[in-house]
Chain A
Amino acid sequence: MTASVHRVMIVDDEAPILRVLRPSLAAAGYEVVEADNGRDALARAAQQIPDVVVLDLGLPDMDGKDVILALRKWTQVPIIVLSAREAEAERIAALDTGADDYVVKPFHTGELLARVRAALRHRQSRAELVAYSGNGLDINFESRRVAIGGIEVHLTRKEYDLLRTLARHAGQVVTHKQLLAAAWGGSVTDTQFVRVYIGQVRQKIERDPSNPRLILTEAGIGYRLAAD
C-alpha cells in the first residue's frame, strides 16, 4: 500500500445504492470509486487500482462473473460480490470464479464494511501469514499447532487442512469446493465429506458444537471462520 487511505470501488447499477454507500464509505475513511456497469468498472479498476472491489452481480451490460474473470486476469484485488439471498448458485459460481466474499442484499452498512475490512486485512497478510490468532483460537501454520483458549487440540491432517484454509481466509467465506480442494486435492467431489469433517473440527474447537461461534455455516455455500 502506498497510501494509508484505502480505495474501495463500488460497482452497482442502482443509483440509490451508490448514493447511500458513497457517504458511508467516506465516513468510514475510504476513498470511493464508482461504476454503474461492467465495462466502466473494468476501465476504472485499471486506472485507479482499487484496494477492494464491491461488485453487484446483476449488471446491465455484462455478467458479474465475466467482470470477475476479467479482473482476475491481472489483479488479485479482493472482490466482494453483492447478490440476492436466493441467487445461491450465482454466488457459488462467483466465488469459484475468483470472488473472495459476498454480502447478501439487503445488507447493513456495518456488515459490508466489516467484509471490506476483512478483505483488506486478508489482502495485506495473505503472503506472509505464519499464524492465525482470533476469538481464542490460535493456529501456527509452521508448526501446525492449534490451540483453543491456550490449550492445544489435536486435529487429524484433514481437519487441520480445513481449519487452516478457513483461517487463511478468516472473516471470508470459503466454498465447499475450495475446502474439498484444500483437504482432498480435488479427488473428492461430494461436499458431504466437508460437512462431516467440519463437524469433527467443531467438536474439538467449539465451546458448544451445536451453536458454533468460530466456524460459521454459510448455508449452501460453505463456511466462514468468524472475524475477530
Chain B
Amino acid sequence: MTSTPVGTRDTQAAPPSWWRGEAPLRARDFFYAAAIIAAATVLGYFWIMHLWPNKIAMLFLAAVLLTGYHFGMWPAISAALLAFLAYNFFFEEPPFTLSIDAEDVFALSTFLVGALLVGGLTGRLSDHTRRLKRALAEMTSLFEASRDLSMTVDAKSAAERVVRHLETNDCRAAVWIMEDGKPALSAASDAVPEKDVADFAARLVAQVAQDEIAPGHMLMHLSNGAHLVGAAALWPAHRRGLPDPRWTRALLDLAAVAIDRARLIAEIAATRVVAAKEGLRTALLSSLSHDLRTPLSTILASVTSLLEYEAKFDAATRRDLLVAIQEESERLNRYLANLLEMTRLESGALQIGRVLIDPREAMAAALRRMERKLDGRRVVRLFAAQCAHIEVDPVLIEQALMNIVENAAAHAPTAAPIIASVQNLDAGVRLSVEDSGDGIAAPDLPHVFDKFFRGGGDRKRGSGVGLGLAVTRGLIEAFGGSVRAVSPAHDGRGTRIEIDLPAHRIEETGE
C-alpha cells in the first residue's frame, strides 16, 4: 500500500474529554440550568421551607445534580454557583442578603463537587455516545460504499461511485484510473480546482506514489498491492474540512479493489472472446474437413468411378451413381447455405426484413419445402384456429423452420408421425416440431443449438454439420424470440423443438 501513516483529528492529541467536554457549550443549556435553580428556589421558598426548613440545601443539591445529569459539566457548575447564591440570598439568615461564612463555603463546595462529578460523567457519556455514533456513521458509509462498489463491473462507474460517496461526505473529489501506465481522469465532482487536478495528474505521470494530506486537499493513491491502479484527490466542500484520512483510505482501498476487479473482468472477457474465436475457427475447420468434404468425397468418387468403369456398370448402377451425385450436391448446397447464413448472422451482415405474417403459413410453407426430405412421413398439424401474427423476415423464418423440420426428419423413424404445432402464448406464439426419435441424451441437451454440435446419433448417421439448429437459434433470436429443445418429448421418446416469438400488437382473428 502506498498510504503513509497519518496523524489523526481524533481525541488522542486533545485534552481528556471529561475536562474538555467535547460537546459544544450551548447557551440554552445554561439557560436551562438557571431555570432549574429558579424552580428549586420557588419550590423551596413557598413549600419546602415550611415543611423542613433545614433541608433546603438538599433541594438545591438535587437541582445541581439534575442539571449535571442533563446538560453536562459547565451548566452544572454554573447551576452550583447559582444554587449557592439563591440559597444564601433567600434562605439563610438574614434573608435577602448575601453573607458568606464557613457553612456557606461547605454548601458551595458540596454543590460544586456534585456538579463536577455528575456533569463530568454525563459529558463523558455523551462524548462516548457521539464518538460511537460517528464511528457507526463511518462504518455505515463504508459498508454502503463497499456494497455499491461491489456491484460495479467497469472501472469508470467504480470511479464515479467513489466520487459520489466522497461527495456525500462533504468533499469534492477527482479519481484517476491508470490506463497503460497513464492516469486518465475518470470521474470528478463539479468545480474541482483545475490547477490541483493538472498538478496531481503530472505527479501521477511521474509515478510519484506518495500520499499527501494537507488542510486544503488530500491526494491518495489506489493500489492493488502490486501496482498503482489509480489515485483520488479530495478537496473540502464546506468549512467542516476533509473527512477522516483513515476512513478515506478505507474507502479508497475498496475503490482500488473494485477498479482492479473491473479491469480483470474486462481482461477475462477479452480473453474469452479470443478463445471463442479460436474455438470457432477450429470447429469451422474440422467441420469443413469432415462434413463438407463428405458429400464431396461421394461426388468425386462417383464421377471418377463413372469415368473409369462406365462400360462395366449396368444402367441401374450408373443411375444410382448419378442420383448419389445429385443428392450429395444438394446436401452440400444446404450445408453451404447454413454456413453462409451463420457467417452473416455473426458478422451482422444479415439483412432482416420485418413483415407481419401468419406463423401458420410459415410453418406450412416450411413443411411443403421439406416434403422430399420428409419422405412420405405423416405430419400431424396442430395449428391454433386463431393465431396472433409475428413480425419476421418471411424467407428467414422459413429457413429457421426448415432446419428444425429437417432435424426432425433426420431423427424420426420413417413410420412415426412428426407433430408440427402453432399455438398462442400469453404474449407470443409458439411454433414447435416434435419427432418420435430416440430423443437427445440429457448431457447433450444444452448443446444442441451450439455451432457444429452433433449428437451421438448424428455422428452415426453422418448427417449434418451441426449448423442447422444453430442457424435457427441465431435467426429466431434476431427476431426477438427464443428457441429450446425438449427431450424426451412424450412417453420417454422424441424431441420437441419449441420456438417462441413475440406476437405483434395487432391481433388478427382468422385468416
Contact = CB atoms under 8 A, between A and B. Distances in A.
Interface stretch (A23-31, A160-168, A187-195): A23-31
Contacts of A23: 305, 309, 313, 317, 320-321
A131 B296 CA distance: 40
Nearest to B310: A27
A37 interface: yes
A112 B298 CA distance: 13
A16 interface: yes
Interface string A151-193: 0000000000000000000000000000000000000000000
B328 to A, nearest CB: 6
Interface stretch (B109-117, B286-294, B487-495): B286-294
Contact of A105 (B293, B324, B327): B293
A63 interface: no
Interface stretch (A82-90, A199-207, A211-219): A82-90
B305 A13 contact: no
Which bracket fits the contact residues of B?
20 to 34
A27 B302 contact: no
A23 B323 CA distance: 14
Contacts of A108: 300-301, 304
A58 B301 CA distance: 18
Contact of A106 (B293, B308, B309, B327): B293
Contacts of A84: 289-290, 293
A118 interface: no
Contact of A60 (B302, B320, B460): B460
A37 B460 contact: yes
Contacts of B302: 20
Contacts of B460: 13, 37, 60-61
A14 interface: yes
Interface string A2-44: 0000000000011111011101100110000000010000000
B298 A60 contact: no
Given A27-B309, A84-B290, A17 B298 contact: yes
A106 B294 CA distance: 7
Contacts of B372: none
B324 A16 contact: yes
Interface of A: 13-17, 19-21, 23-24, 27-28, 37, 58, 60-61, 84-87, 105-112
Given A23-B320, A108-B301, 9 more contacts: A19-B324, A20-B301, A21-B301, A24-B301, A27-B305, A105-B294, A108-B300, A110-B304, A110-B308
29 contacts: A13-B459, A14-B294, A15-B462, A16-B298, A16-B324, A16-B328, A19-B320, A19-B324, A20-B302, A20-B324, A24-B308, A27-B312, A27-B313, A28-B309, A37-B460, A84-B293, A85-B289, A87-B289, A105-B293, A105-B297, A106-B296, A106-B299, A106-B300, A107-B300, A108-B304, A109-B305, A109-B308, A110-B304, A110-B308
Interface of B: 285, 289-290, 293-302, 304-305, 308-309, 312-313, 317, 320-321, 324, 327-328, 456, 459-460, 462
